[in-house]
Amino acid sequence: MSNSPKMTRRQFVTVIGAALSSFIGAVIGLPAIGYLLSPALEKQQGESWIPLGPLEKYPINQPTLFTFTRTKKHGWEKTVTSYGVFVLRTSETQVRVFSNVCTHLSCRVNWKPDVQEYICPCHDGHFAIDGSIISGPQPRPLDEYEIKIEDGNLFIFLKET
């Protein structure tokens, strides 16, 4: 006669039932948890080339405002940011692109063709057509974007922070 404890039929059914319940719970529950958590685990691309359209649509020596928005996802939260840039085409093939955000306290500058300056309405900052400082409290020239031209189309490189 053996001394090992014997499992009753009732105990055996209970153990098998618990094991099956756990298995079914894992099969159903893990994908559901993964689905719910996946937005929080997504990585958002922080850099990209933004198309500004055909270069030829921008007049030479006239800063032209181009606006666009970018949507950024942080987990379940979406943030829409609007951007404005001035495209300054200096010849048939040469172009520079400046941010319209003042380098003082981030107000939006406007191009004033009558005086040929970008003017910030907040503290009367004045910038020249090439983004350099003329007068005002701003600490540096307008920020300039890296550009590329592909098949006659202009792109700027945007680094989102």
- Does residue number 120 form part of the binding site for ligand FES (CB under 6 A)? yes
- CA-only gyration radius of the chain, Å: 30
124 backbone dihedrals φ, ψ, rounded to 5°: 60, 45
Count Cβ atoms within 10 A of the Cβ of residue 137 and give its class: 0-12 exposed, 13-18 middle, 19 or more buried: middle
Exactly one of 85, 118, 125, 154 binds ligand FES (CB under 6 A); that residue is 125
Comparison of 57 and 108: residue with beta carbon closer to ligand FES: 108
CB of 77 to ligand FES, least distance (A): 28
Contact pattern for ligand FES over residues 88 through 107, marking x by CB under 6 A: --------------x-xx-x
Based on CB atoms, which residue is closest to ligand FES, 118 or 155? Answer: 118
Taking the least distance from each CB to ligand FES, the nearer of 20 and 105 is 105
Coil, helix or strand at residue 33: helix
Distance between CA atoms of 129 and 136, rounded to whole angstroms?
15
Q: Out of 112, 123, 140, 148, point to the residue binding ligand FES (CB under 6 A).
A: 123
Question: What are the E-state strand segments in the chain?
Answer: 47-54, 64-74, 77-89, 95-99, 110-112, 117-120, 125-127, 133-135, 147-150, 153-159
If binding is defined by CB under 6 A, does position 13 make contact with ligand FES? Answer: no
**What residues line the site for ligand FES (CB under 6 A)?**
102, 104-105, 107, 120, 122-123, 125, 136-138
